[in-house]
Amino acid sequence: MEPALAASGGMDAESEAGIERTQAWRAEVSVRRYGTGNPEPGWASRPELLAYSDFMPGSPRHAYVHVPFCRHRCGYCDFTLVAGRDDLIDRYFEAVARELERVRQPLETDTLYLGGGTPSHLGPDGLRRLFGLLSTKLGRAADAEVTVEANPLDVTAEFVAAATECGVTRVSLGGQSLDAATLRALDRDHVPAHVRAAVARLLDAGLVVNLDLMTAAPGQALAAVEADLAAAVALGVQHVSVYCLTWEQGTAFETARRRGDLRPVDETLEGAMFELAIDRLEAAGYEHYEVSNFGRPGYRCRHNEAYWDCRPWEAFGPGAARFDGRTRITNHRSATTWITKMLAGEDATGDIDEMTAEQAARERLVVGLRRRAGIDRAVFLAASGYEFNQLVGSTVAGWAAAGLATDDGVTVRLTRAGLLVSDSLWADVLTT
Amino acid sequence: MPIDCRHIRNFSIIAHIDHGKSTLADRLLEHTGTVEKRQLKEQMLDDMELERQRGITIKARAVRMEYRHEGELYELNLIDTPGHVDFHYEVSRSLACCEGAVLLVDAFQGVEAQTMANAYAAINTDLTIVPVINKIDLTYARVDEVLVEMEQSLGIEPDDVIKASAKAGIGIDTLLAAIVERIPPPQGDPNATLRAMVFDSHYDSYRGAITYIRILDGTVRKGQKIRFLRTGVSHEVIELGQFVPQRRGCEELVAGQVGYLVCNIKDVKQVHIGDTVTIPGDQGAAALPGYKPPQRMVYCGLYPSEGENFEELRDALEKLAINDPSFEYAPESSEALGFGFRCGFLGLLHMEIIQQRLEKESDLDLVQTAPNVTYQILTTAGETLEITNPQDVPESGEIEEFRQPIVRTNFIVPAEYIGPVMQLCTDRRATYLKTEYLSPTRAVLSFDLPLAEVIYDLHDKLKSVTKGYGTMDYEMLGYFPADLVRLDILVGGKKVDALSIICDRRDADRRGRAIVKKLRGEIDRHMFEVALQAAIGTRIIARETISALRKNVTAKCYGGDISRKKKLWAKQKEGKKRMKSIGSVDIPQKAFMAVLDTGTDRQ
């Protein structure tokens, strides 16, 4: 920062020139601070990361776009979204266009992921418009994976046609359950038939389909989870994500729980549901490759794997987080605030998680151990610059002794028991 | 020219909490022109922030006012008293400096437990009572009924009662006139040998101890040598004067007057409330009767939650003790909590006040153990032990007699709550004494109760069974034998010394069950099963189990999720760091208070 400029900015701040200069100075500081104004130095100024060039190309090869619109807010959801505010969609597009200006040279992406909210809520035309905007800055490699999240109700023939036309290769369907009672308990606006129809339509169009299933819904029994898993397998989807319901602060569910109107299922039953999912899906030929994710061989979500490899990625939209290998910058989580700030040319950053090399290494450990493949010591050293044993050797030895992890000297994996209680392990790994 | 005793009036205002004592004091200061209205902070006499917050007066203060009555100028000394039972001794010393007391009763609340306790203390000290009904302008004032209550309970002639509203300034002049007319002037010979009583002190960082005195006989002058009889130490009077309400120096104080001395005393602990001040040498006056050293009735352990803060805690306690000689602390160590201090207080309120000051003034994170009263044990060897920590209870074979403090307790309750209060006390092993009616609708119930039961939860329970209308007050009767045991708590098979309590043998099962149940709610699940047990000696009397953690795993961990999750995990880690580890079990700090809070177990 130029102190002289800051000082004079204060003196003639009333004048137009002063305001302009102050704004320019702020933008400059913002760029320096967040390192995102210019992708070149921003992403590549860290030689310690660049040393592993196969992991770390000069610019990110993965991008996420957050679409915050929903028809209605489900009671358990605490994602960044607005329900019933379709009037904001035009301004949202404008804001995304603004944010894309951050990218000076178009990126070539291996994976592109549209999440939400409900990206499918934009409809066929909205989807075309968004992909049109993105194409100016986000190019795609030949075999790029392009995922769009969809609500079963939105998956019309027209929508599928638009998706295919836009180069979408994969659709993640928020089915949650194939049981009417569970769907009602989860406050969803679709019924099982919608899920079946949507899956059929997507598979027919040659798209890869992920189906989200939820467990531990209020009142859900183990048998209902069993039925959902069987139904998902029968539908022939290539990928299944199984999420245990999380009672997030500030959601309608959590408020109802506090009042005693809703009761979470017992922790032991939650565990049984989780284990049942692993057993049934593995038996059906799906690989359990991360806590909540199951894919048929060759159908893992490459985009999510980039997150867990701690590769850098770009991200756009409210609440979206981007990462350069060290620093994670999350946009403002309120959709309306983000739009307003973007359009006003103001800083729309919500949170900055800046790590030291060691902190980044420790984070890599956590996301790595959530994967069933675990962590290979050599790969870890190459990617993080840290010797695994030096960092957490004795801690992990303790886990192994307690039956929570296995270690053959090369690879460390959590056992199923360890995975089940893994959140209780991370405090021993992460430093503050 | 020294003031004539006939133109001095020394008095206190006594009242139940919230009956308007501070407001009345402010009004008197204002009407006598001692303090101008615009200077008057609300509740002038309660100058400590904490006191203002809690609406109670902790430390006595003495203010000199001037008042002209029928052409004569009078010196009125208002000696403020702490109204709470914890400070009973301080109250008695303050009252001993007065010839009269203004008894203030709320026109709606009527006579309450502290009204009676304080009024009796004043009557026993032979003070002239000037009764006042305050807040007569309230819509719900029930002046006539309160007059009956005052007559029934304290024998006060209704015609003598002044009707006032301190807030609205009604009846203040009548009251000032009554103070002059009804309260007798102090006796005492200004030419006799100096004899003065210490009734309070405070610490001033520039001047050291400021000693509050009432001159009973003789005269004290600036530069004079004086002697404190307790310590036998002589000092030179560097400064003396009166509070108006700030300190104002003068050349001399004579018999009958109230004021302060500054004697270059660095440590307030050398100034004993109730002590006698006289001249050095063997010509001095005899000691005044009634001196008692401060009696600590309640003890608890205070530990820094991070062991390395031990020194800081000691400094903070030392600072507090400088201003409060009745607070006591001594280092102790606990297997569970490490190095800390055993702290003694006059009572529960005193304990709360000290803790709040500690938190406010020192920024230390503390672990507190549940408070206990002081016990006495007569050993088989014929020795009497003072027990302030349950850990110090000897083997049962060595105990000849185990004694606990018993207090005589008066409850004033609306008649419809007599039943519930009886039940409350019976459950607490009280001995019923009597019921007296103040009026057809309000009664005084008297019991003898173990002090331990009183500090346990009695006040809260009284408020809840009487919908807030019941009040209580108690006085110490003494130590009496009882069938007491030490109850130990084991976590994961290891005894946690800081959780031990002393209780009646007949209550041990119930208390033990309640404590382990409560602990079960306080201690998080671990990767393994955790057993919680209550034991007397080697006999286990209650058990609860915290089952092992079954599932704790974040479902979603994508793009931005990890930053949020890390914050949560970091918070958990911080929380864990502040916990105390017993074996491999982490116990949160507030669990150490769990032994107190078993209110749900018993109605």
Q: How far is CA B65 from CA A187, B273, B433, B481, in A?
A: 72, 24, 44, 50
The parts of chain A modelled with pLDDT lower than 70 are: 1-58, 432
Q: Which of B553, B573, B576 sits opposite A419 (nearest CB)?
A: B553
Q: Which of B552, B559, B560 sits opposite A424 (nearest CB)?
A: B552
Interface of B with A in 523-582 (CB under 8 A): 527, 549-560, 562-563, 566, 569-570, 572-574, 576
Looking at residue B129, what is its pLDDT? 97
Q: Which residues of A touch B550 (CB under 8 A)?
A: 267-268, 270-271, 420-421
**Around A223, how many Cα atoms within 13 Å sit in the side-chain half-sphere?**
1
Q: Which residues of A touch B559 (CB under 8 A)?
A: 64, 307, 313, 315, 320-321, 323
More confident residue, B318 or A44: B318
Cβ atoms within 10 A of the Cβ of A158, count? Answer: 12
Q: Do A291 and B552 touch (CB under 8 A)?
A: no
Which stretch, B317-331, B352-366, B440-454, has highest mean pLDDT?
A: B440-454
Looking at residue A342, what is its pLDDT? 95
- For B530, the enclosing helix (H) or strand (E) is strand B530-536
Rounded Cα distance between A318 and A339, Å, is 8
What dihedral do alpha carbons B532, B534, B539, B545 form, nearest 10°?
-20
Q: Do A421 and B554 touch (CB under 8 A)?
A: no
Rounded Cα distance between A240 and B93, Å, is 80
What secondary structure, in 3-state letters, does A277-344 show?
A: HHHHHHHCCCEEEECCEEECCCCCCHHHHHHHCCCCEEEECCCCEEECCCEEEEECCCHHHHHHHHHC
Rounded Cα distance between B213 and A427, Å, is 60
A93 SS3 class: helix
Q: Which two tokens stand for residue B171?
A: 């009846």
Q: Which of B555, B560, B569 sits opposite A330 (nearest CB)?
A: B560
Q: Which of A270, A328, A420 sits opposite B560 (nearest CB)?
A: A328
Amino acid at A63: A
Mean local confidence (pLDDT), B177-204: 93
Give the position of tokens 């002037």: B185
Q: Which two tokens stand for residue B592?
A: 């150490």
Q: How far is CA B336 from CA B251, B490, B545, in A?
A: 57, 11, 20
Q: Do B553 and A313 touch (CB under 8 A)?
A: no
ipTM field: 0.84
Looking at residue B291, what is its pLDDT? 79
How far, in whole angstroms, is CA A235 from its chain's centroid?
25
Q: Do A274 and B553 touch (CB under 8 A)?
A: yes
Rounded Cα distance between B540 and B490, Å, is 9
Cβ–Cβ < 8 Å for B244, B194:
no
Q: Which residues of B touch A366 (CB under 8 A)?
A: 562
Rounded Cα distance between B365 and A289, Å, is 44
Identify from B562, B567, B579, B586 which residue to disrupt to test chain A contact, counting A C-beta atoms within 10 A and taking the largest count.
B562
Per-residue pLDDT for B57 more than 80? no
Looking at residue B83, what is its pLDDT? 66
Looking at residue A58, what is its pLDDT? 55
Nearest residue on chain A to B560, alpha-carbon basis: A321
Question: Chain-wide mean pLDDT for chain B?
Answer: 88
Per-residue pLDDT for B180 more than 70? yes
Q: Which two tokens stand for residue B411?
A: 């409850």
Cβ–Cβ < 8 Å for B27, B166:
yes
**Around B13, how many Cα atoms within 13 Å sit in the side-chain half-sphere?**
30
Closest CA to A382 of A63, A44, A52: A52
Looking at residue A32, what is its pLDDT? 35
Q: Which residues of B touch A172 (CB under 8 A)?
A: none
- For B109, the enclosing helix (H) or strand (E) is none
Nearest residue on chain A to B553, alpha-carbon basis: A423
Q: How far is CA A348 from CA A9, A20, A312, A331, A343, in A?
A: 23, 19, 20, 6, 10
- Residues in chain B, how many? 603
Looking at residue A17, what is its pLDDT? 52
Q: Which of A320, A404, A420 sits opposite B551 (nearest CB)?
A: A420
Q: Which residues of B touch A432 (CB under 8 A)?
A: 570, 573-574
Q: Which of A243, A404, A426 sits opposite B556 (nearest CB)?
A: A243
List, for residues B58-83, the tens digit of each pLDDT value.
344 789 999 999 999 999 999 988 76
Q: Which residues of A touch B569 (CB under 8 A)?
A: 423, 426-427, 430
Q: Which residues of A touch B581 (CB under 8 A)?
A: none
B249 strand-pairing partners? B241
Closest CA to B248 of B237, B260, B257: B260
Nearest residue on chain A to B563, alpha-carbon basis: A353
Q: Which of B552, B558, B569 sits opposite A421 (nearest CB)?
A: B552
List, for residues B543-562, the tens digit of each pLDDT value.
999 999 989 999 999 998 99
Cβ atoms within 10 A of the Cβ of A405, count? Answer: 23
B328 strand-pairing partners? B344
Indicate the pLDDT class of residue B295, thresholds 50, 70 and 90.
confident
Identify from B550, B578, B579 which residue to disrupt to test chain A contact, counting A C-beta atoms within 10 A and taking the largest count.
B550
B213 strand-pairing partners? B198, B259
Identify from B525, B546, B553, B571 which residue to disrupt to test chain A contact, counting A C-beta atoms within 10 A and taking the largest count.
B553
List, for residues B416-431, the tens digit of each pLDDT value.
999 999 999 998 999 9
List, for residues A115-156, the tens digit of each pLDDT value.
999 999 999 999 999 999 999 999 999 999 999 999 999 999
Identify from B530, B556, B558, B577 which residue to disrupt to test chain A contact, counting A C-beta atoms within 10 A and taking the largest count.
B558
Q: Is the peptide bond before B599 cis (omega within 30 degrees of 0)?
A: no
Rounded Cα distance between B434 and B551, Å, is 58
Looking at residue B592, what is its pLDDT? 85
Rounded Cα distance between B598 and B603, Å, is 10
List, for residues B447-493, the tens digit of each pLDDT value.
999 999 988 778 888 988 998 888 888 888 999 999 999 999 999 99
Looking at residue B34, what is its pLDDT? 85
Characterize B489-525 residue by residue with b for buried, 16 or more Cβ atoms within 10 angstroms of its Cβ, and e for exposed: bbbbebbbbbbbbbbbeebbebbbbbbbbbbeebbbb
Closest CA to B534 of B601, B479, B450, B452: B601
Cβ–Cβ < 8 Å for A212, A172:
yes
**Around A107, how many Cα atoms within 13 Å sit in the side-chain half-sphere?**
27
Cβ–Cβ < 8 Å for A363, A430:
yes
Looking at residue B2, what is its pLDDT? 66
Nearest residue on chain A to B561, alpha-carbon basis: A321
Q: Which residues of B touch A353 (CB under 8 A)?
A: 563, 566
Q: A209: burial class by Cβ within 10 Å (0-12, 13-18, 19+)?
A: buried
Looking at residue B602, what is its pLDDT? 41
pTM for the model: 0.69
Q: Do A424 and B549 touch (CB under 8 A)?
A: yes
Q: Which of B549, B559, B574 sits opposite A321 (nearest CB)?
A: B559
Looking at residue B367, what is its pLDDT? 85
Q: Which residues of B touch A290 (CB under 8 A)?
A: 557
- Residues in chain A, how many? 432
Q: Do B550 and A421 touch (CB under 8 A)?
A: yes
Nearest residue on chain B to A362, alpha-carbon basis: B566
Q: How many angstroms separate the CA of residue A189 from the nearest CA in chain B? A: 22
Q: Do B569 and A267 touch (CB under 8 A)?
A: no
Amino acid at A255: T
